[in-house]
Structure 1
Amino acid sequence: MGTARPGVVPAMTTIGIIGAGLIGSQVARAAIGVGYDIVISNSRGPETLADLVAELGPKARAATASEAAAAGDFVVVTVPLKNYEQVPVEPLAGKIVIDTNNYYFERDGHIPALDAGVDTVSGMLQRHLPTSKVAKGFNHIMASDITTDGYPAGSPQRRALATSSDFEEAAELVQRLYDELGFDTVNVGPLADSWRVERDQPAYVVRQNRAELVENLTKAVRASATPA
């Protein structure tokens, strides 16, 4: 599966969120619930997030994408794949970036390298952010479950989520965040293997514990789609 690059995860207290849709707003709610500060952005401007920020409370503020990227100790990118090249590069230099995205050709248009199974969604973002450390996260859970389906460690109901990264410290940060939110973690390995937990694979958007997630990852088959 490959070897990640070693590193140490420092203490982090502020999360920048680029994208305030279903996943972004739910990650914000869940993270504030365990003590993080949030700086959140969308494509329409901070003023359009007034209602969400009012709901989230004093630990949240709205910003532009570049401001959210600069403010976050680490950053969650949760924009449609077709817009990933709009994610600011310089403010994310040296930072861990959690990529929640999936490829939906109905929304994003056909991307030949993904249709052919020779690239990955998060690999594309990593190349766009060459000085950042990208890790996949929150991509195979329904948004509503992020705030409602967490359980304490050791609970028989504890659900497992996957991460994937070329950087050990990035995968470790996702694991820590998952644990804080009430989920176990399975590390899929490098981004080249992150397709195993994406759309149409056995591990995608199903409730599973750690053992079941590991089993579902082994069942993944990389099929080539036929462009319309």
Structure 2
Amino acid sequence: MHVADRPSIGIFGAGKVGTALARLLVASGYEVVMAGSPRQTALDLLVSVVAPGAKVASPDALVAGSDVIIVAVPFGKGGTVPWDDFDGRIVVDAMNYWPPVDGHIAEIDADERSTSEINAARNPNARVVKSLNHLGYHEMEDDSMDAGSPLRRALAVVGDDAEARTVLARIIDDLGFDAVDGGPLANGRALEPGHPAFGRELGAGELTALVAPAADLVA
């Protein structure tokens, strides 16, 4: 059942990551709206089967009705998302740059910024945070645990907007993970493929040490 004071969530991307997140969010009481690729046919039917309770909307309607927007499209398709419309919105970059999938993108390979800093530059007025990218979609539901479990897995949240990090941390806690404040968006490099925190099952203390010397956002 939806809890009125929880932010509404919009997800760009109805693939395995997006639908896994949608199932967890709906089960946790969030209103979820999804937008997929224009090439995905019968998207309403797909979402009703793989993420029951989530709704499908146009990109414009998704942006207008969402407090938090999760971008979960393939990295190479990141430019197809309407970043110009994200002014003032909390935007979660859940994408990963995978050369085996995306191919080597020369501009990305040569850029010293984290990929989330690169994405954030698409709209400086968006409140971009990096998270939900450093665990596999198949682990999202399997590894979710109740608060207080000594084996609870941690997820990091990085971003230059402290309030946005706190909002996402509460969502992560509801999803069944401990949220760790990883500090500024530049620290997202540690969450990317090939870097220390990516794909590892870590507790809050271990993850904090790898990303940034910061305290947990959610007790």
**TM-score (norm: length of structure 1):** 0.83
Paired AA for residue 153 in structure 1: A
**Mapped contact 2:145–2:177 kept (Cα < 8 A):** yes
Q: 1:116 to 1:187 in 2, by over 3 A?
A: farther
Q: What residue ranges of structure 1 are gaps of 5+ in the alignment? A: 1-10, 219-228
> Which of 174, 177, 182 is the aligned partner of 1:188?
182
The alignment status of 1:97 with 2:108, answered yes or no, reads no
Q: What residue ranges of structure 2 are gaps of 5+ in the alignment? A: 213-219
- 2:146 is matched with 152
Question: Which whole-Å deviations, capped at 9, do the CAs of 1:143-164 have from their partners, x for residues lacking one?
Answer: 0221221112221111101111
Quote how far apart the aligned CAs of 1:100 are: 0.3
* Matching of residues 115-130 of structure 1 within 5 Å: 115-116=109-110, 118-130=112-124
**Mapped contact 1:150–1:158 kept (Cα < 8 A):** yes
SS at match of 1:212: helix
Sequence identity percentage = 35
- Deviating above 6 A after TM superposition, structure 1's stretches of 4 or more consecutive aligned residues are none
**Mapped contact 2:84–2:122 kept (Cα < 8 A):** no
Q: 1:157 to 1:44 in 2, by over 3 A?
A: same
Question: Which whole-Å deviations, capped at 9, do the CAs of 1:43-80 have from their partners, x for residues lacking one?
Answer: 12675322333236773211222322222111101111
**Mapped contact 2:22–2:51 kept (Cα < 8 A):** no
**TM-score (norm: length of structure 2):** 0.87
Paired AA for residue 162 in structure 1: A
**Mapped contact 2:153–2:201 kept (Cα < 8 A):** yes
- Between 180-189 and 56-65, the greater mean CA deviation after superposition: 56-65
Q: Number of aligned residue pairs: give it.
A: 209
Name the Cα RMSD after superposition. Answer: 2.1
- 1:38 is matched with 32
Quote how far apart the aligned CAs of 1:138 are: 0.6
**Mapped contact 1:165–1:190 kept (Cα < 8 A):** yes
